[in-house]
Amino acid sequence: PLVKVQIFGVRLDTARQETNYVENNGFNPYWGETLCFRVLVPELAMLRFVVMDYDWKSRNDFIGQYTLPWTCMQQGYRHIHLLSKDGISLRPASIFVYICIQEDLEGDES
């Protein structure tokens, strides 16, 4: 599987990144990757996690997703419980993430 992380919001905040896929470990995959986003207007931003089953022969298969407002995120280790395309809970399916939010200082380009 692989995880796509998407930001929806104002044009400058809209972004998308994804992890590498983990082969033959759909039950308990470990990605160990860091994805960083710059969000200028957090009040209008939505964060979406999408888990896909990687398929090199055809399109990747959707497993589950979860979307939340950027301002509802809390720092630290979190379980993101996945939902179906129709919004039905897929419990106990979840991804375990570490959220770190850093404030940019004005003029800082990092």
CA–CA distance, 102 with 75 (Å, rounded to integer): 10
Give me the number of domains the chain comprises: 1
Of 72, 70, 71, 92, the closest CA to residue 81 belongs to: 92
- The tens digit of pLDDT for each residue in 48-79 reads 999 999 988 889 999 999 999 999 999 999 99
Q: Give the model confidence (pLDDT) of 19-50 as tens digits.
A: 999 998 888 999 999 999 999 999 999 999 99
In a domain, 109, yes or no: no
Q: pTM, whole model, 2 decimals?
A: 0.89
Q: Answer whether residue 6 is part of any domain.
A: yes
Place of tokens 């710059």: 38
For the domain that residue 25 is a member of, what is the CATH number? 2.60.40.150
Question: 43: domain range?
Answer: 2-99
